[in-house]
């Protein structure tokens, strides 16, 4: 009988530019050699790491965002607000690791940054979570080589120190796409659904963050 893999907490950041008449979002294509979603176009993101619980910030999540992210956790190793903060930090860190983009402000940094945050802190920035909004949550379907319980955050590109992304070993061909262009890409099922939420959010329509969880295999 196969062992059921418990999803790992993860976070994603959707960055939106509004300087070209229509919203544009940042996406990258995962490398062909990856076991998880090879060649798919995705938003920057990844799993929650230990250091994400301890990194100081220049700006905290807005209270309503922290409350929404921390609601109904699958398990609760800490307070909902602390979990929400750690997930937001994971999204910021993964965005930096995968694209080189900094969501932060110049500020004195700790002499010994938590694991995973040393390169970010060495640039002289602290992460700023105040511009992030929560848009969705999804649990990877059973049967995948990796399973994640992912929270999706969205933020305007104005939260970035600069908006020129660089390719990494995880994400290549990183580009800004308008939403129609993005829908023509090879996307995971959840990513395609999230695009509709981003469109609503960008137009100012209220978005109630959905929670998608599958109990059987689905196609990408």
Q: What is the pLDDT of residues 89-131, one digit of tens each?
A: 999 999 999 999 999 999 999 999 999 999 999 999 999 999 9
What tokens were used for 23? 């919203």
In which element (H, E) is residue 118 found? helix 118-122
Domains of the chain: 8-213 (3.90.79.10)
CA 100 to chain centre: 14
3-class secondary-structure state, position 190: helix
Asked if 86 contacts 53 with a C-beta cutoff of 8 angstroms, the reply is yes
| First-last CA distance in the chain | 25
Query: In whole angstroms, what is the distance from residue 180 CA to residue 23 CA?
Result: 10
**Residue for token digits 């580009």?**
175
What tokens were used for 149? 């319980």
Spatial CA neighbour of 162 closest among 96, 107, 97, 110: 96
CB atoms within 10 A of CB 215: 8
Query: In whole angstroms, what is the distance from residue 18 CA to residue 21 CA?
Result: 7
- pLDDT in the model for residue 87: 97
The percent of residues above 70 in pLDDT, for the chain, comes to 85
In which element (H, E) is residue 104 found? strand 104-106
| pTM of this structure | 0.90
Residues of the chain below pLDDT 50: 1-3
- pLDDT in the model for residue 2: 45
The percent of residues above 90 in pLDDT, for the chain, comes to 67
Q: Are strands 211-213 and 133-139 parallel, antiparallel or unpaired?
A: parallel
Asked if 179 contacts 195 with a C-beta cutoff of 8 angstroms, the reply is yes
């Amino acid at each position: 009988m196969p062992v059921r893999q418990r999803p790992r907490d993860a976070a994603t950041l959707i960055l939106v530019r509004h300087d070209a008449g229509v919203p544009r979002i940042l996406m990258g294509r995962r490398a062909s050699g990856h076991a998880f979603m090879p060649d798919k176009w995705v938003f920057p993101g990844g799993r929650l790491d230990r250091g994400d619980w301890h990194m100081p910030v220049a700006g905290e999540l807005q209270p309503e965002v922290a409350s929404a992210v921390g609601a109904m956790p699958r398990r609760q190793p800490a307070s909902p607000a602390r979990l929400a903060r750690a997930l937001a930090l994971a999204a910021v860190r993964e965005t930096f690791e995968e694209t080189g983009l900094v969501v932060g402000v110049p500020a004195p940094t700790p002499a010994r940054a938590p694991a995973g945050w040393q390169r970010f802190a060495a640039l002289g920035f602290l992460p700023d979570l105040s511009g992030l909004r929560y848009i969705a949550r999804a649990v990877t379907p059973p049967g995948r080589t990796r399973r994640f319980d992912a929270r999706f955050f969205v933020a305007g590109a104005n939260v970035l120190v600069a908006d020129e992304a660089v390719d990494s070993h995880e994400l290549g061909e990183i580009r800004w796409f308008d939403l129609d262009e993005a829908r023509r890409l090879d996307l995971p099922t959840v990513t395609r659904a999230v695009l509709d939420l981003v469109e609503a959010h960008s137009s100012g329509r209220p978005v109630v963050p959905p929670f998608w969880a599958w109990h059987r295999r689905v196609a990408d």
